[in-house]
Amino acid sequence: MLNTHTIKHHFPLFDRHPSLVYLDAGATCPKPQEVIAAEREYEEAFSTNVGRGLYPLAEATTERFEAVRSQVARFIGAESEREIIFTSGTTASLNLAAALLAPTLRSGDHIITTELEHHSNSLPWIELARHSSKGELAHTKNIPLRLIPFTEEGSIDTDQLIALIDSKTRIVALSALSNVFGTRNPITDIIKRIRNRNPETIVIVDAAQMAGHFPIDVAQWDADLVAFSGHKMYGPTGVGILFGKQALLETLRPTTFGGGMVVDACAEPTEYKESPFCFEAGTPNISGVIGLGAAITFLEHIGFETIRTHEKNLLTMTLTRLRENFGDQIHILGTDDIEKRGGLISFTLDHIHPHDLAQILGEHDISIRAGEHCAALLHRKLGLSATARVSFGIYNTEEDVEKLISGIKNARTLFDTKTPLHSSI
């Protein structure tokens, strides 16, 4: 069993802020000292570029950097490190995916995404469809975007999704775990059903909220492209991954050009390196990648079974305590089935706006998130202007949950009015 009191000491943030109750892992995780030390070690002892220098320090940096690529590949069950593209985060990965796929679209194709996506996995596709409708894609126009609704329990309506797949479905972009509902989508099953309808559809998975909480197995999913961020899995900010099946990456043309990705810049046509290097122009976030490697080692040291057991306990306790204390005044989004939930809970509470709640809790050192959580469409569909969100990491304790509950009780006493501020869910 995870000893949460000792694990907390791996996170210097809690030494600096001993009374902090941090319940916003869904936005970003505090970094363990192992990650900070790895980044620092690179800056202090290596501080050279990758893939360029021929002297020992630069070669050592390249070796360490490429070792993380292999580590990431193993971590997510990729076939080869050549399937791992380093980016600056999930948003960059999904935008890169859209840019890489844009030239492959053909007249009559359509794109499908869902109404529960984070803006990072909706806006790139909305923009792609918009550009095509304005005739701004060189080779084709009018690529419609179709949006799939979500179910009451907060997962993608798979039947509706499958019903829309036909021979012209070029791209399906969906998330593995909703950052608002907290519900996990059955990705393996969904992809299998998509493939049965159209084996050529390219499926992109936003795994930002899965990474660090559940194992990711791209082979089991059979996804074509998968995006996630380092900072939501105890790694540094500014580093992320775009996994792509090698056979697919080999067919795509780079969209960003510059140093480090070219074999012969004077040739006509220019000769680029093979993937993934042709997709990584310029100097990467080297310390970030090194830190990401340390985050993976940290996670593997704890083990996903332990992480899941811990988060599930906190989840069960929080749901119970919220319901016990606030009864029919609290409206919790998503499913009651803990097995289908990741470690986050979004809710509204009668008589207090989520922003007020978050602000008052913040004044008492309890950090939760409030707002649309970059999922405007989802909130619009529910008729909500905002929700409050609590999200867990391995450093959270039962004591944190008790502090949250008494914090919410106190906050409510300040807003003791009889008029609900939200429409019903």
- Which of the residues are catalytic? 374
Cβ atoms within 10 A of the Cβ of 76, count? 24
Among 71, 113, 169, 175, binds ligand PMP (CB under 6 A): 175
Token digits of residue 97: 């995916």
- Residue 179 touching ligand PMP (CB under 6 A): yes
- Residue 346 touching ligand PMP (CB under 6 A): no
Among 61, 62, 71, 90, binds ligand PMP (CB under 6 A): 90
36 or 207: whose CB is closer to ligand PMP? 207
Least CB distance from residue 374 to ligand PMP, whole Å?
6
- Residue 120 touching ligand PMP (CB under 6 A): yes
Contact region with ligand PMP (CB under 6 A), list: 115-123, 181-189, 269-277, 417-425: 115-123
- Residue 113 touching ligand PMP (CB under 6 A): no
Least CB distance from residue 286 to ligand PMP, whole Å?
18
Distance CA 353, CA 323 (A): 18
Site size for ligand PMP (CB under 6 A): 13
Cβ atoms within 10 A of the Cβ of 41, count? 15
Least CB distance from residue 406 to ligand PMP, whole Å?
28
Token digits of residue 181: 């509902």
116 or 307: whose CB is closer to ligand PMP? 116
**3-state helix/strand/coil string of 365-376:** CEECEEECCCCH
Among 89, 235, 291, 293, binds ligand PMP (CB under 6 A): 89
Q: Nearest to residue 367, comparing CAs of 320, 326, 403, 394? A: 403
Least CB distance from residue 209 to ligand PMP, whole Å?
5
Least CB distance from residue 206 to ligand PMP, whole Å?
5
Among 62, 71, 95, 121, binds ligand PMP (CB under 6 A): 121
CA distances from 246 to 81, 168, 255, 265, 275 (A): 9, 23, 17, 24, 8
Contacts of 170 (CB under 8 A, 6+ apart): 101, 104, 105, 106, 109, 110, 111, 143, 200, 201, 202
- Residue 24 touching ligand PMP (CB under 6 A): no
User: Residue 386's Cα: distance from chain center in Å?
Assistant: 20
- Residue 114 touching ligand PMP (CB under 6 A): no
73 or 208: whose CB is closer to ligand PMP? 208
- Residue 118 touching ligand PMP (CB under 6 A): yes
Segment 205 to 234, residues that bind ligand PMP, using CB under 6 A? 206, 208-209, 229
- Residue 235 touching ligand PMP (CB under 6 A): no
C-alpha dihedral over 360, 365, 371, 375, to 10 degrees?
A: -160
Classify 303 in phi/psi space as left (phi over 0), alpha (psi -120 to 50) or beta: left
- Residue 183 touching ligand PMP (CB under 6 A): no
Helix axes 56-75, 286-302, angle to 10 degrees: 40
C-alpha dihedral over 358, 362, 367, 371, to 10 degrees?
A: 20
Q: Which residues bind ligand PMP (CB under 6 A)?
A: 89-91, 118, 120-121, 175, 179, 206, 208-209, 229, 374
